[in-house]
């Protein structure tokens, strides 16, 4: 569960890396917004739209990168990584 932006950074060495993600696991982002909800961008490598509270993902180099834009500025405020290429859906998150 992530509860604050500082829970995971945006540069290598500062963000979380998951090595054991399997089908059925969920990333819990619900506490970040205190009652509000995230918008999950379904398509791989979809750009942020400039709206706050968006989650996007991309597969690259044998890994999956998940990025979160909390404030709507179009850049990642949080990031985490899976050590495998995984097609993610909104169902993989508690948003």
pLDDT tens readout for residues 46-81: 999 999 999 999 999 999 999 999 999 999 999 999
Name 60's bridge partners: 63
- The mean pLDDT value for 19-42 works out to 87
34 pLDDT more than 80: no
So what's the pLDDT on residue 1?
A: 78
Contact 84, 20 (CB under 8 A): no
- The mean pLDDT value for 35-47 works out to 87
So what's the pLDDT on residue 40?
A: 92
pTM: 0.90
């Amino acid at each position: 569960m992530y509860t604050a932006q500082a829970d995971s950074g945006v540069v290598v060495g500062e963000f979380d890396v998951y090595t054991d993600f399997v089908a059925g696991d969920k990333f819990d982002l619900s506490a970040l917004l205190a009652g509000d909800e995230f918008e999950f961008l379904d398509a791989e490598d979809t750009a942020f739209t400039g709206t706050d509270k968006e989650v996007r993902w991309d597969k690259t180099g044998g890994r999956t990168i998940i990025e979160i834009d909390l404030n709507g500025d179009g850049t990642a405020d949080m990031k985490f990584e899976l050590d495998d290429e995984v097609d993610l859906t909104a169902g993989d998150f508690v948003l």
